[in-house]
Structure 1
Amino acid sequence: MAYVTQQDLIDRFGDRELIQLTDRTNLPAATIDATVVAAKISDAEAMADSYMAKRYKLPLNPVPDVLIPIVANMARYYLYGERAETESAVTRNYKNALGWLKDVANGTVQLEAEGVASAQTAGGQIQTVAPDRVFSRDTLEGY
């Protein structure tokens, strides 16, 4: 299930940016390379799934609207690759997207989508079994 499309990226970031980031054959850049865009979208979706799989049955259907800009910002960052500057908005948005996905994985953020089932339910308590203590206040008395 696709979370974002090439058109979503065009709507958010403009076709000019996608042309500059993907056209590796024309000088000057003139067209969007759909293969490059699809690969980076796929990478971003796989990364998002790796976080959401902890709590949700995948693929999400329908895709929550809140997820679209998250995956779009990640795909944009992947398109920039080595050109993404450390202090740029592209990098900042990527880091924010990862932080949000970590919150989803930890349960701090709950996705609202029909048909989304939590993969994990509240379980019982953790129990441990260990041998009796060898050293205690009584056995060490006098040392």
Structure 2
Amino acid sequence: MSYTDLDQLTDRFGSQMLVNLTDRSDPRGHAVDTDIVDRALADTQAVIDGHLVGKYALPITDVPPLIAELAATIAIYKLHIYTPDEKIGDDYKQALRSLESIAKGTIKLSIEGAPAAAGQSSGARLTDRKRPMTAANMTGFI
């Protein structure tokens, strides 16, 4: 299961762009190479899961629209074998910043089964250790 798929990429970026990015055969076949797209989608899921591993139960089964959008942005960037145009590069950087914000909790996703954030405290932390000064060892000083 991936956070986006070929149909969503085609809807968003157009089939011609996907053909241009994935048809690497010689002579050109003028068709989308689904193996290349599948590799980019797997890499994209790994990037997203890597950011969200401590925050949410993975893999996300009911994909929120924000994650689908970030996945499409990252996948199209990963399909480029050469430097992409400035807009795609900027969108990719913004997607990574959004993932970092989700991981920090600045952006919250409403996902079923999301575990409570580990390590967050709601108040004072008490420790139980031996007291260095007690009435018994302070005899004569009190």
| TM band (smaller chain) | 0.7 to 0.9
CA distance in 2, matches of 1:9, 1:107: 28
Count of aligned positions: 126
What residue in structure 2 maps to residue 89 of structure 1?
Answer: 87
Alpha-carbon contact 2:55-2:114 (below 8 Å) kept: no
Q: Equivalent residue for 2:41?
A: 41
Correspondence for 2:104 among 103, 106, 112: 106
Alignment RMSD (CA, Å) = 2.2
Deviations 1:38-58 (A, max 9, x none): 000110110011001121111
Of 112, 115, 128, 2:113 maps to: 115
TM norm structure 1: 0.79
Which blocks of at least 5 consecutive residues in structure 2 are unaligned? 128-142
Query: Helix, strand or coil: the match of 1:60?
Result: coil
> Does the alignment pair 1:23 with 2:23?
yes
CA distance in 2 between partners of 1:41 and 1:51 (Å): 16
Separation in 2 of the partners of 1:57 and 1:9? Answer: 25
Rg larger in structure: 2
Deviation per CA, 1:17-38: give whole Å up to 9, x if none.
Answer: 0000001115455100000000
Could you tell me which runs of 5 or more consecutive residues in structure 1 were left unpaired when the two chains were aligned. Answer: 128-143
Compared CA separation, residues 36 and 115, structure 1 to 2 (3 A)? same
Rounded to whole Å, the distance in 2 between the matches of 1:66 and 1:126 is 40
Amino acid of the residue matched to residue 109 of structure 2? L
